[in-house]
Amino acid sequence: MATLTNDKDLVHNDPTRLHAQQLLLLACGGRLSRVVHVLAELGVADILADGPLPVDVIAKKAGAHTDALYRILRNAASVGIFEEGPAKVFQLTPLADGLRSDNGDGVLPLVKYNNLDLTARPFDEIMHSVRTGEPAVERALGMPFNVYLEKNPEVGLFFDEFMSFWSRQFIEEELEQYHFERFASLADLGGGDGFFLAQVLRRNPQMTAYLFDYPDVVRKAGQVLADHGVSARVTVEGGDLNQAEIPAGHDAYLLKAVLHWMSDEKAENLLRRIRAQIGDTGARLLVFDSVLAPDNKWDHGKFLDVDMLVLFGGRERSLDDWRTLFERSGFKLVQEPSVYHWTLLECEAV
């Protein structure tokens, strides 16, 4: 084993060295995430939306202790989240702007999501997941994820809104990729409250559709579909997708952000059931999901993959993982994905 003998290699607090800064963030990143959570909960980015303010004014508006808030803001400013200048006067930075509640491209919902007991406490038990490959939710909370949502309706409402928020970020981009005009009938499996399906049907008046998700989720679909004027063309059904009978007779079967919640075993089971219903009809399987960037490239999906390990028992997949899963289930990719992260994977039955 090599021994470090150069004293400079041991320096970890030299502000001029990027490596030293990164080492400290490795050690203190957990604290920084809590600092960001505090600033998000206090709404500091919204308070500063109209321009710089002294910390005492910020504290009064936020309902915080002035000196304590100053110390938190000073810490955040050291890594580019807000900026101090002149002394004890703070303003937004591009990073801090991402915490504004009116920023549709920001991360405020994600910060709040990551700091729920539901999502934070299981990470205290991450070693259990690493040693066993099992989610840590029941170990940390004493109950399955969905049961926790049922017993804590305010958390369930936030979780539902959070999922809808992210789901609706990419709709225009997704619709351009899918070319739904090819199909006369679409089965949207795990389609949530039907918002995405409603957009598809509005653009394709010749199409009929089937929508399936958990009963408490699709219960909201009636109003969504009615608001878009497409109710008459949709059959809605609720149940557990892991056990439900897959309907036959559709031109395309859509799984939008569904399979990454599932283990390979559950995903293969679902795909095999879809394959059985497709038969030799030529219907297509459309999977819109995460494809992990290869090698050491940055990809937020690699963080989501750890979430899937600890919280849900699912996984994010590389392109090779997807190919293997499809081949084992009776499908073949008909095109290479145009981008990594969230993208369309179109398959034909083989």
**Secondary element (H or E) of residue 210:** strand 208-213
CB 72 within 8 A of CB 106: no
- 184-201 burial, b if ≥16 CB within 10 A, otherwise e? ebbbbbbbbbbbbbbbbb
H and E: helices and strands count for the chain: 18, 10
CA distances from 302 to 150, 151, 287, 313 (A): 29, 30, 19, 15
- Closest by CA to 76, choosing from 107, 45, 116, 46, is 45
Residue 146: strand, helix, or coil: helix
pLDDT value at residue 80 = 93
d(CA 89, CA 293): 41
Other CB atoms within 10 Å distance of the CB of residue 234: 22
Cα three-residue angle 86-87-92, rounded to 5 degrees: 60
What is the pTM (predicted TM-score) of this model?
A: 0.86
pLDDT for position 10: 46
pLDDT at 25: 84
Q: Report the pLDDT value the prediction gives residue 16, as an integer from 0 to 100.
A: 65
Instruction: In whole angstroms, give the CA distance from residue 92 to residue 50.
Output: 9
pLDDT for the residue 12:
52
Q: Are 44 and 60 in contact (CB under 8 A)?
A: no
Q: Which regions of the chain are under pLDDT 70?
A: 1-16, 169-170, 338-339
DSSP 308: I
Which residues have a catalytic role annotated? 260
